[in-house]
Structure 1
C-alpha cells in the first residue's frame, strides 16, 4: 500500500514537471503574441490614406516604376503587415537544410518587427524570436523552447536588424518606401542606393531592379553574421527574390533566399516562400 502511495506521488510530480516544461516551451510564442498585441494597440484607431502618384514623385525613377509595377498606387498606405512563411534553414554551410516555418508581424509607424521561427534540428524542435523595437534588437533561440542556444543583443545586432527591417519594407511592403527616413541616390537606370535612418541607427543598401520594374535583389554591407549572438562579423548580405505573385491586389515576390557573402564564398542560409500576407491588420492572426 505504501509503495502504491509513493508511486502515485512520483507520478503526480512527473505530470506536474512535464506540464510545466510544456508550458515553458511556449514562452517565446507567448512573447511574440504579447508584443504583437502591444504593437497593434493603435492600429484600429488609425486610418490609412491612399497612396497616390503625388506621394511617390520625389523617389528615384526605378523606385517609382517599382511601386507602379506592384500595384501600390491607389491602394491604402501600409501601417503594418502580418506574414507567414514556409521554407528551409541551414545553420552552417556544411550542414543540411532543415524545414522551417515562421510568422512575422511588423508595425511601420513606430518601426517594430517581430519574427517567430520554428524548425527541427537532430529531431528536436528549435524555436526562435527576433524582436526589433525602438531601434534596438534582440535574438533569442531555444532548443525545445527551453535551452538557450543563441542570445544576441547590442549595437551590432541593432544595426543588423535595422537592415532587416528596411529589407522587409523594400520586399514585403513596397508602399512604405515613401518613408521620409529614407535617402535615395540613383546609381544607374536599374540600381539605386538607399540610406535608412531609424532613430540614429543608419544603414545603406543597393536595390536592383529588372526591366519590368520589379525589385530582384537587395544587397547591404551593414549587417553582421552572428550565429549565437556571442561574436559579430560584418559580412555582405543579400536577398535575391523569386517570381512575383498577387496577394490581395498587391504584387510582391513570392519568396527568396538570404545569403552571406564571405571571402571564401557565398553561404545561402535561408530559403522562404510566402504562405499568406495581410496589410493594415487589426489582429495578429494565429
Structure 2
C-alpha cells in the first residue's frame, strides 16, 4: 500500500509542477510587434460642426483641437491580457481601421513568449468574424457576430475621432449632461452606444452598449472603460482601457496601446468593398475638401 501512496503523491506532485509551469508561461509578456513601417501622413483637417452637443464639442477640443486632424485609416498596436476560459493570457495585437467602414484586429496569445494561438476579430463588408487558430481552431460568424463587431468598430472610433464628424450616417442624441447617445448604422438599420464624458478633463470615461456575446440568445450590457489617455500625432486617444461584460462583474480584458500610425495604406489588410452609400459619402468628403 505504501508503494501506491507514494505513486499517488508523485503523480499529484508532477501535476502540480506542470500546472505551475503552465501558469508561469502565461506570466511572461510577449515581445511587442515592430512599429508599423509606414509613417503618419497629414491629409488636412475637418471643422467642428456648429450644432455639436456641448459635451462632444469639449471632448474634441480636448482630444484633437479645432479643426480636427482628418484620419482616413489607422493602425494601432500594443499588448493586452485576455481571460480565456478562466485563464489570464498575454497577448500582443495589431489593429487596422478604415473608420466607419471596417476593422481587423490580429492577436497572438503567447506562452513563455511563444505564440500558441492566433486570434482575430473583424468587421469587413458588413460581416463580423471571430477566429481562433493554433492549439484550438474555431470560427464564428452570423448576424449576432455582425451586430457585436459593428458596435466594437464604433466603440473604438475614439482612435479615429474625425470619423464621427465626417460620416453623415451617425448622429448624437443627448441623454444628460455627462452622457451622449451615438446612433450608428448597422446594415439597413441603426444601433447605438452611450458615451460618458468626464466633466473635468472633457475626455470620454467609458462607452457602453447592448451587444451579443458570441451566439448567445440575448444581448448583454458591454462596457469599454478608458483609464489612461496619451497623445499620438497630435491626437489624444486611450492608451489603456479595459472591457467588461456586466454579468461577469469585472473586466475580461486589459489593453495597452504602444503605437499608432494614421493615413497609411492598409488595403492589403482590409479588402473592403464600399457600399453605394459609403461611396457617396466619400465623394462628398472629397468635394468638401477641394
Q: TM-score, normalised by structure 2?
A: 0.72
| Deviation digits for residues 150-180 of structure 1 (CA, Å, limit 9, x no counterpart) | 31111101111010010111x2112221121
Distance of aligned partners of 1:242 and 1:270 in 2 relative to their CA distance in 1, 3 Å threshold: same
C-alpha deviation, 1:121, in angstroms: 6.2
Q: For residue 5 of structure 1, what is the aligned residue in structure 2?
A: none
- Structure 2 unaligned segments of length 5 or more: list them: 1-39, 270-290
Q: How many residues align?
A: 228
Distance of aligned partners of 1:60 and 1:193 in 2 relative to their CA distance in 1, 3 Å threshold: same
Q: For residue 286 of structure 2, what is the aligned residue in structure 1?
A: none
C-alpha deviation, 1:107, in angstroms: 0.9
Q: For residue 79 of structure 1, what is the aligned residue in structure 2?
A: 72
Q: For residue 186 of structure 1, what is the aligned residue in structure 2?
A: 174
Matched-pair contact (CA < 8 Å) for 2:96–2:266: no
Q: For residue 251 of structure 1, what is the aligned residue in structure 2?
A: 236
2:56 to 60, 63, 70: 63
Q: For residue 10 of structure 1, what is the aligned residue in structure 2?
A: none
Secondary structure of 2:226 counterpart: coil
- Distance between the aligned counterparts of 2:236 and 2:261, measured in 1? 12
| Deviation digits for residues 212-231 of structure 1 (CA, Å, limit 9, x no counterpart) | 2100000101x1112xxx54
- Distance between the aligned counterparts of 2:179 and 2:141, measured in 1? 32
Secondary structure of 1:73 counterpart: coil
Q: For residue 161 of structure 2, what is the aligned residue in structure 1?
A: 174
Secondary structure of 2:87 counterpart: coil
C-alpha deviation, 1:105, in angstroms: 0.5
C-alpha deviation, 1:199, in angstroms: 3.3
Q: For residue 193 of structure 2, what is the aligned residue in structure 1?
A: 205
1:282 to 265, 268, 277: 265
Q: TM-score, normalised by structure 1?
A: 0.72
- Distance between the aligned counterparts of 1:285 and 1:247, measured in 2? 24
Q: For residue 204 of structure 2, what is the aligned residue in structure 1?
A: 215
Secondary structure of 1:275 counterpart: strand
Aligned-residue Cα RMSD (Å) equals 2.7
